[in-house]
Structure 1
């Protein structure tokens, strides 16, 4: 159908679009295309008049308050449809697709929902009777949503695809539960046991998960933006490709977890335990890592631009090809860490102990290295142009072929350094003189 429309429009508009920019002409054509996946107007009218609409396309249709008692909707597509307050008593919905449909306040007494797709359905205040034919799993979800569950032990429960938004599930036991593709947005989940639970692709946006236990849980590709994980146990958790941007992870335990390719931009990880965690290819843009334990962490190819790592422990970490441009690295513990070849331009390393550190070919242009201890550091071919090294200790450091053009070396200790082919052009030397070009 779309192809025919395009062909006819193309013939009729040849002259009209002649001389237009291609992008404008394309936009004009797209304005006439039918909306994809929209409800069929004829099917809606048919449903109103006959209540016989097996196999109809009613996707995203507004059927709020409709009288659909004993309607035949076998195999109908009702995905995302608004059925709020609809009268569906005795309706035949066998095999219907009700994914993400709004069934709040609807009456489903005596309705048949055998084999219906019910993932993401809104169940608040829905009427479901003992005579309603519905899979046991979805009856349990309905009971949970409507406060009919008295036992908080839901270990190993199948809640995959369930819409549990806004519920109060504090102190529940969901150990080993299947919550794949479930939505728990703005849900109270503090002190919940999620050990070994499957939360793959689950959405916990804006949920309260303080003090919850996620050890050995699977949160791969989880939607966890702005979620509160403060003091939560996420040790040995799979968070690969999870979206944790703007998440609160203060003092959380993430040791030995997998955060490969995770999105952590603007996240709060101050005082978190990230020891031995895999953060390779992760995005930590402007994240707060103050005081975090990053011992042995894998940050290869990670984006740490503008991140605050002050007072954190980064000993024995892997930083290969990571981007630390503009990061705050003050008062860090960097013993045993290889910083060679990294982009550390404009970073703040003032006062740090970098003695014997490998900084070969590292970009430290514009960096703040005031009073830093760089004794015996390997700075072979390092870029220190415009860096502030005032008061720093560079005794016995290797500055062979290093670029110190325009650097500030006032009060710097340079005894025993290797200066072969180093560039001091325009640099302010320890005695205040300018280096020769």
Structure 2
């Protein structure tokens, strides 16, 4: 694959291309998704910008990849790409992006690069992750094509220091500064000389026949596989967290019985009206204590919510999640909690998730279907390539069955299955192999 200065081929701006990083195709002014600056003025003003991406062997235009300043985040050069749908899944975005990362940090000397996308754009987020970008912040953004609509964009960042630490895909780069007054009306050959950035095909990228593509070989998978997880009770030891507070207030002898009542009362509190999960924790604790005629220490009714960030993950959870990511699975959390609380638990797990849906996001709690409905709205997940994993028959197995989804039940408490899941496991240790059986690569 080769890159050259954009602007020489209007088909790039008008053709049937998909913007994997930003959304809609470029408009007639060369704006990508209404966020990136116009292509030609950007080169003239800044001396860098977007290159056309073409196949070395045929010269066929397959998209464009490069660095520009984005309206949502004008402080740092932003890596973006636009790939012809007929040529997605071949690693072009990753290959070209790797060259642009090195060009931006080493040649341009930018202290930091960013790459932005919407949360549901899992394919682009996976490419960003491969290139060493990490989630930095979320910013509101008003697309030019939708002037009355505000969306949230995730800003991923990568610094110069990471370049020496992270592995990037193999590529060959020839780069030099482009003249600020470059004439985009010049011939294709002259424009290519001026840009002096060539992304050359390696042995993998030259072999584009379908048989090789479908064999894997390091290419992006054409169909994403999704594993969604309940968090508390499945990944995080919910019982241990609740029990610890109960023992501290009321003693170890009373704690098991009080924990059983907590199990029964919390769904009732959730079903009454929507409240934040922090409020649910507080109200349920108060009702458990009132039933048992036990006083809660003064000022401690909110103790459960305060303790939640310290609730431990199950020992095998981080390892199994990391293995699933290594096998190419997309991971999501669908949890009956608040955004602030789940953020702390994600840090404890130490494994990145592609999407998180909380009760706060949908104003409802499982076993309602709101979490799953939001998940399918915000992703391109195919139900045949999706499996839900949960420890609660009431909150997870039953609604997943109602929705016709594949379900793996993590039966940590030795309960009887009703309804019956697709698979039953005592913990997460064997989950990677189990998911491979349910949805083979």
Normalised TM-score (structure 1):
0.22
**Higher helix proportion, which one?**
2
**Higher strand proportion, which one?**
2
